[in-house]
Amino acid sequence: MEDSPNQTNEFNVGQRVHAYSDSTRIGTVKYVGNVEGYSDTWVGIDWDYGGGKHDGSINNVRYFHAKSEKSGSFVRPKNLSKGISLLQALEKRYRSNSTKDEVEEMYVLSTSNKKVSIELLGTSEINDKLSRFEELTNASLAYMGVSSPGIPCELSITVPNIKELDLSGNLLSEWKDVGSICEQLPALKALNLSYNLMSPYKSELPLLKSIRVLVLNNTGVDWEQVELLRQSLTTIEELHIMGNNISRILPVSSSMVQGFDSLRLLNLEDNCIAEWSEIMKLSQLRCLEQLYLNKNCLSSLFYPDNGCQYYESEVTSCKPFQNLRCLLLGDNNISDLASVDSLNLFPNLVDIRLSGNPITDATKGGVPRFVLIARLAEIQILNGSEITSRERKDSEIRHVLLKTMFCKYAISH
């Protein structure tokens, strides 16, 4: 069961914990010991989302370094939780009375502002099915304080058919625990570990041959870690690594990222990549169809056929991005039409997002949608909106007229 508030807890520096009364308030233990002027033992916490009182120092004495001025605080051990096992979280989520009570207490407000209870059709049948763990195929355990897999082999016996598992916002940090969970759930195909602060990869993971979708958003995982994980993720089709402050793509053995033979979708949104040359290191991923690069720091892009050669000949065995169909570049710093024109050189690109860049902002010298459509001859979807044959025809006519007017103006002046 979850730690009792009256139980004497021993905490270690680096351990992930949450506030005892709030499993969504997560932090990292940075200090355990006495605090000058106060009795007994205190635990210094650096909270993930702020909400602390200081930066790790109090009364001019520094005990630890928090990541911001107001993310640190000292907490009594009884007010912290080390978390629970995955199986305990499943029990709590799908078999506890609280879940059923929450459903039964659903209501709407009447015109007189009084609560009127409502009953969902099939509620009892749904609860009954969810409580039969052997039939459970999808489980959502977000922000439930999961910190360990639990007793070995219990998961495989209790929930043998789990295919999709959401563990976002928990207390997991060790890859060996992730490996243990995956080993015990042989049917698992999709795993979400977002907002678990993962420690650097140290030991080998087992072969995770069933995992098709892995979500590692806001976990601190960088590309070096991804390269190490690649050896275990032999059948991965979707990889999401948003918000991890990635600025460089660092292949292990050559200038290009190799392997990932089944990867169709790579999500690198909300990172810090500024150079398109870093993205080109992904260009030999043969199955890659969707690449998400929104909210990075890219200022331009190119395709190597456009006079840019920097590859090692031995690794360019196929056309760069030969199967890429969707490229999302929203909210970057792209401002030049040469970058837009280079998109025409991608062999199979049909879906592009450029919104939020200076090139699409008229106040920053950008161009309107019809100009982009006219210049991107093969694109079928622009900024999430399908380009109809009528819109394309109109855009091309307007673009020709615009160029004609510009030429006449230039000649007259």
Q: What is the pLDDT of residues 287-325, one digit of tens each?
A: 999 999 999 999 999 998 644 454 544 455 689 999 999
- What local confidence, expressed as pLDDT, does residue 413 receive? 52
Domain for residue 331, yes or no?
Answer: yes
208 CB burial (10 A radius; 0-12, 13-18, 19+): buried
Question: Phi, psi (5° rounding) for residue 47?
Answer: -75, 140
> Domain holding 368: CATH number?
3.80.10.10
> Domain holding 49: CATH number?
2.30.30.190
68 CB burial (10 A radius; 0-12, 13-18, 19+): exposed
Same domain, 285 and 216: yes
User: How confident is the model over 89-131, as pLDDT tens digits?
Assistant: 999 998 876 544 444 444 555 555 454 555 444 445 445 555 5
Domain for residue 6, yes or no?
Answer: no
DSSP 8-state secondary structure symbol assigned to residue 409: H
User: How confident is the model over 229-274, as pLDDT tens digits?
Assistant: 888 999 999 999 999 999 999 998 789 999 899 999 999 999 999 9
- What local confidence, expressed as pLDDT, does residue 117 receive? 52
List the domain range (segments joined by +) for residue 194. 85-306+313-401
Q: Which amino acid is at 140?
A: S
Query: HSE (CB half, 13 Å, CA atoms) of 193?
Result: 28
* Rounded Cα gap, residues 397 and 407, in angstroms: 15
Same domain, 56 and 159: no
Same domain, 258 and 389: yes
Same domain, 65 and 153: no
More confident residue, 400 or 100: 400
Query: HSE (CB half, 13 Å, CA atoms) of 247?
Result: 3
